Amino acid sequence: MDVKKMIVLAILMAFYGCQPAIATMSNQTARETLYTGDGATTAFTFSFPIDTGSAGSHPDLEVWLRTIATGAQVQQTETTQYSVSATNNDFSSGGTVTMVTAPAATEKLLILRNTPQTQGSDIGSSGVLLTIENALDKLTKIVIDLQEEVNRCIKIPKSDAATL
């Protein structure tokens, strides 16, 4: 970040009473965790950050069960088939998915972050804030465009190894 951007950021933080809490998310940050069931374990941890939606839901978290022999996958439903709890009282460093029924030894459990491709922030309509708003809008458009392209690609099941 260049000096001008740092100064603008410091002014904005002072103006809005913000504390400096700048975090970098590497593209190497894991977004999935895969387990093999044993018929007894119900609690499965994940170490990637997720967001909390309205009423404590977790809209960017998906949980899938895959039958190893057939490859059939079934997405699980929060509150019906699993619950989610945070590590350290927030989800910035992950959490735990607790299944109602322990996955069998013939199943794999995939915990996956699937962030909605929306830009819900509206931070300003003039000056520096408009510049930031336009940048966020552009990034959101890029993500949506890339997703459309990815949707046309040949894919392997989510619970298969990424090294196929």
Identify the helix (H) or strand (E) that includes residue 151.
Answer: helix 127-151
pLDDT tens-digit profile of 23-74? 444 444 567 889 999 999 999 999 888 888 777 788 889 999 999 999 999 9
Work out whether the CA dihedral 14, 16, 19, 22 comes out positive or negative.
negative
Give the list of residues 6+ apart from residue 65 with CB closer than 8 angstroms, or none: 73, 74, 76, 103, 107, 108, 109, 110
Give the list of residues 6+ apart from residue 141 with CB closer than 8 angstroms, or none: none
Q: Are 61 and 115 in contact (CB under 8 A)?
A: no
pLDDT tens-digit profile of 107-119? 999 999 887 777 7
